[in-house]
Amino acid sequence: MIETEIKVTPQVAAEHGLTPDEYARIQKILGRDPNITELGIFSVMWSEHCSYKSSRVHLKKLPTRGPHVVQGPGENAGVVDIGDGLVAVFKIESHNHPSFVEPFQGAATGVGGILRDIFTMGARPIAVLDSLRFGPIEPGPAAGNATDEEIARNRRILDGVIRGIGFYGNCFGVPTVGGEVIFEPCYSNNPLVNALALGIARREELFFAKASGVGNPVIYVGAKTGRDGIHGASLLASAEFSEESQQKRPNVQVGDPFMEKLLLEACLEAMRTGAVVAIQDMGAAGLTSSSSEMASRGGLGIEIDLARVPQRETNMTAYDIMLSESQERMLLVAERGREGEVFDVFHKWGLDAVEVGRVTDDGKLRVLIHGRVAAEIPAHALAEEGPRYERPIAAPAAAAAAAADARPLKFAPEGADLTGNFRRLLASPDIASKEWITEQYDSMVRTNTRVGPGAGDAAVLRLKETKRALAIKTDGNGRWGQLAPRLGAMHAVAEAARNVACTGARPIAATNCLNFGNPEKPEVMWQFTEAIEGIAEACRVLDTPITGGNVSFYNETLGKPIYPTPILGVLGLLEDAECAVDSAFKSEGDAIVLLDGGSAGATNTGAFGSSQYAKEIQGVVAGAPPAIDLGAEKRLIECLVKLASAKAIASAHDVSDGGLAVTLAESCFHSNGFSADVDASAAAARGEAAEIALFGERGARVVVSLPGASLARLEAIATECGVHATRIGTVSRGEFRIQYNGAAVVRGPMDLFRRTWTGSLEKAVEATA
């Protein structure tokens, strides 16, 4: 074997991304020098991506328990009880670097990976959401100084990512029901592709990745192993980008959604036989992580013989096989004597299923190849005793300066017509309709999608087994994270929870994907710890414990970190699917009411520099995000849940990017040709500039519509919940009009606004640079 000829030296260890201290630790655990296969195994398991070595001490601050939580962080995905004997299994994960290097396959395998995390627990995936961040795709004030070349590349990345997500999810047969797409210059060389998957299982049929039963066979199932993705976790996901990163393309895995669909059906069928003891997917670090983690969780060992592993390339070394990240593979432990039942199921589906090893009692991961021991490592030490770092933390001086930079924004004179700026905002890629993207995804397969992409503030999936439904949404504002990481993170939780509540569902749990720069930089660690504390506080107040997720560090290119971007996925439970609320106005003459969980009219002029309007219209990103009042958010959530269950409202849509004006327009766009006639004065503070009243992004506000006859009931419920309800207008059939202090500041034909909003994204992407 060639590998034995490579002598492991501190130099070779360094090339594997291991520090001298980490190398010394390996020598100590083994009591000798590692061979090259062992070094490779340690290097992937102790990579930032797999070991969470920089984040683990901080992640402990997150609340992870709650009345619904069945399984918190530490398993393949989080599990929450949703009643009637059912559990929801969900998790979000990043695939950022692969998606930059090879957008189509990077995004596709990101979806594939998170789906496996769900069905490895015995749950059938019922929905996928994607939280995407790209660099600018058109020039303009918001594009910073992005070059034409950058813009053209960003379009290609966007197109590849969208196609990749569709390619995988559409074929697999899971509806892609939502997510968000946001553009900022900082993501030009480091797009974010975070995929969330949600599944359903019966509680007693859950599976865990914990080996048991000494002597039980270890069975490899699914696709054959190739050389693709070797070091995906350690080299791609755990290091910054440089100009040579494009050459890492061979490190990106290649996805086969058809294979994954077969794997799904075969795994669920095999689990039903009762012969499966434990199962884990081979994701990052492939065979290495699945075997050592299952052994470690069970306090046992696993011995595998690599000669038996199905391979699609010749002359693969133990190093290659252990580190391969070939997709669509699973490792499972079966009950000795019943392995035939497992084989039968996989063979029915035309899949490889091979006994490659057995569970042992010596606590070791022992890897054999052609009768020779290629690696022997204590499993627990490998999986759980990796390095932990309390990296230095320092608040950057620049952050304080940016916060203090309440750059005086130029406001239009009182009564000025803001229609032109409003249209520019509607056409901006962040706000423009994402239909061109979501139409490329099958959002309806499995016939559970009650509120699909764009139609409501969160996706709503009915559950055929019960009258209940689930609502789910991802959110995260990187710009706000950059200006104030803690506050930005709190807003991410609050917005996702508020969106879920807008559908009538009660938020019950969350998952997070923490996208940050290089943790070895004290200012990045500061952003990270601030964000964690923000998430912890918000999740505690809003009763949405974190059940799992993923940390993605090293999102930097040429030394420039992305905005700190924590993405929150919040899951909500709707007791009666019939009560689901979407964001579209329903009938002419319905009252339009602004619900405000805070003190009505209170505003924050300094926060306007952080708004979408400031970014798009004035090219300014400054100041601090709006202050947050978690109590107000909580009151508003309670109010929305009650209104929906009383069937008191016809629509609900939260005020967020682009402020009240955009919220109102969107409720029209999604409707059956309705418009709105609104006076924003009643809901604004005295003396507030029109631009702030229309486009300010203060939280804890939701626009609802309802028949006049229901107004009294709405007021009673709002008062009971401590929420202000202010009637601001009426659903109409005429022109779209917003008045402020006696002047019509935005007005025009609805069709014109709709066209502006609908066509912009496609135009920007399909433009040839």
3-class SS of residue 698: coil
Contact 432/760 with Cβ under 8 angstroms? yes
Give me the least distance between CB of 576 and other proteins, in Å please. Answer: 12
Residue 5: how many other CB atoms lie within 10 Å: 7
State the distance between the two ends of the chain, measured CA to CA, in whole angstroms.
51
For the chain, what is the radius of gyration of the CA atoms?
Answer: 26
Per annotation, catalytic residue among 58, 68, 95, 670: 95
Strand partners, 752: none
Which residue, chain included where needed, has tokens 């409707």?
671
| Nearer to other proteins (CB atom), residue 171 or residue 395 | 171
| Nearer to other proteins (CB atom), residue 15 or residue 578 | 578
Q: How far apart are CA 405 and CA 400, in angstroms?
A: 9
| Nearer to other proteins (CB atom), residue 262 or residue 500 | 262
| Nearer to other proteins (CB atom), residue 449 or residue 663 | 449
- φ/ψ of residue 675, rounded to 5: -130, -175
Q: How far apart are CA 127 and CA 176, in angstroms?
A: 6
Pairing outcome for strands 560-561 and 449-451 = unpaired
Contact 363/379 with Cβ under 8 angstroms? yes
Give me the least distance between CB of 262 and other proteins, in Å please. Answer: 6
Give me the least distance between CB of 256 and other proteins, in Å please. Answer: 7
Give me the least distance between CB of 436 and other proteins, in Å please. Answer: 9
Pick from 67, 352, 391: which is nearest to 225 by CA?
A: 352
Q: How far apart are CA 509 and CA 547, in angstroms?
A: 7
Give me the least distance between CB of 225 and other proteins, in Å please. Answer: 20
Give me the least distance between CB of 452 and other proteins, in Å please. Answer: 8
| Nearer to other proteins (CB atom), residue 320 or residue 457 | 457
| Nearer to other proteins (CB atom), residue 446 or residue 560 | 446
Contact 441/453 with Cβ under 8 angstroms? yes
Can you give the binding site for other proteins, defined by CB under 8 A? Answer: 163, 166, 170-173, 256-259, 261-262, 349-350, 438-447, 449-450, 462, 464, 577-578
Establish how many alpha carbons lie within 13 A of residue 255's alpha carbon, considering only the half-sphere containing its beta carbon.
Answer: 31
Contact 165/106 with Cβ under 8 angstroms? no
Q: How far apart are CA 24 and CA 585, in angstroms?
A: 65
**Cβ within 8 Å of residue 709, ≥6 positions away:** none
Exposed, middle or buried, 2 (CB in 10 Å: 0-12/13-18/19+)? exposed
Cα of 219 vs its chain's centroid, Å:
31
Pick from 213, 368, 217: which is nearest to 304 by CA?
A: 368
Which residue, chain included where needed, has tokens 């964000």?
531
Give me the least distance between CB of 133 and other proteins, in Å please. Answer: 22
Give me the least distance between CB of 721 and other proteins, in Å please. Answer: 27
Helix 103-119 × helix 148-172 angle, to 10°: 40
Q: How far apart are CA 474 and CA 195, in angstroms?
A: 10
| Nearer to other proteins (CB atom), residue 104 or residue 695 | 104
| Nearer to other proteins (CB atom), residue 296 or residue 449 | 449
Give me the least distance between CB of 475 and other proteins, in Å please. Answer: 23
**Cβ within 8 Å of residue 727, ≥6 positions away:** 591, 592, 593, 682, 711
Q: How far apart are CA 145 and CA 657, in angstroms?
A: 23
Three-state secondary structure along 70-119?
EECECECCEEEEEECCEEEEEEEEECHHHHHHCHHHHHHHHHHHHHHHHH
Q: Which amino acid is at 650?
A: A
- Judge whether 95 counts as a catalytic residue: yes
DSSP-H helix ranges across 619-749:
630-645, 659-669, 690-695, 711-721
Contact 453/443 with Cβ under 8 angstroms? yes
Contact 495/542 with Cβ under 8 angstroms? no
Per annotation, catalytic residue among 49, 231, 380, 670: 49
- Judge whether 68 counts as a catalytic residue: no
Give me the least distance between CB of 201 and other proteins, in Å please. Answer: 16
**Cβ within 8 Å of residue 397, ≥6 positions away:** none
Q: How far apart are CA 48 and CA 233, in angstroms?
A: 8
378 token code pair: 């204590």
Q: How far apart are CA 267 and CA 269, in angstroms?
A: 5
Give me the least distance between CB of 743 and other proteins, in Å please. Answer: 37
Give me the least distance between CB of 445 and other proteins, in Å please. Answer: 6
Give me the least distance between CB of 442 and other proteins, in Å please. Answer: 4
Q: Which amino acid is at 403?
A: A
Report CA torsion sign: 543, 549, 554, 560: negative
Q: How far apart are CA 539 and CA 62, in angstroms?
A: 8
Residues annotated as catalytic are 49, 95
